[in-house]
Amino acid sequence: MKVRLQKFLAQAGVSSRREGEKLILAGRVTVDGQVVRLLGTKVDPQREEIALDGQTLKTMVKRFLALHKPPKFICSRRDTHDRRTVFDLLPIDWGHLYTVGRLDADSEGLILLTNDGAFCEKVTHPSHGLLKTYCVTVAKRLELGALERLTDGLRDKGEFLQAKRVRLLFANNTRSQAELVLGEGKNREVRRMFKALGLRVLRLQRVAVGSVKLGELPLGKWRPLSRSEVASCLRTTRKTG
């Protein structure tokens, strides 16, 4: 059965479909030894040899993981400053996985990982609107007006930032904790929103991505996603895309 070349690259776990297009245009992909630069080219992986930079590719067993990222771990595969990465927490032969979205180094909580480029693209693309839930602790009492500004939206560095929902979990004179639900994944969005309100974030934890919940998963540990969790993520993106 023939599939588009960029779809096969995603199925082989080397890229998302969009990144696969860049690989094709760069002339790094060959089919039966011939460089293919035409987007939309269809291939039969059972009959043709597809290679990236001279290395033959095969469809990989798809993996979908939930990982509880600790603070100070980064989501990149490698780091020039020799910081620890989330890949240090996985089996050594799972280096072909990549993160579905990111959390900054100081944040913690739920990170999804996969080798399925199509899944990654659907879950992370802003147009699909998969909701992410965060628990935020700040060093001050959160007043009603601040919560309303988060849901009304505010501007920071030319970008409009807005929470879908906000729920106050507790508040006293020295600290407060709130739950935020966001529909987009703009860079450091939650921290920027609270900074714009003059509030210092003490702790930021992502507790859910769509229907996938962090739950009782221990810090630094991972678990496979269930079939129903994978299907739920894809079903949600189809509805909102």
Residues catalogued as catalytic: 104
Report the 10 Å Cβ neighbour count for 198: 9
Q: Is the dihedral of CA 162, 164, 170, 171 positive or negative?
A: positive
Tokens (6 digits) for 152: 């009304």
Residue 25: what residue type?
L
Secondary structure of 93-120 as H, E, C letters:
HHCCCEEECCCCCCCEEEEEEECCHHHH
Residue 215: what residue type?
G
Strand intervals (E) in 38-100: 42-43, 50-52, 55-56, 64-69, 98-100
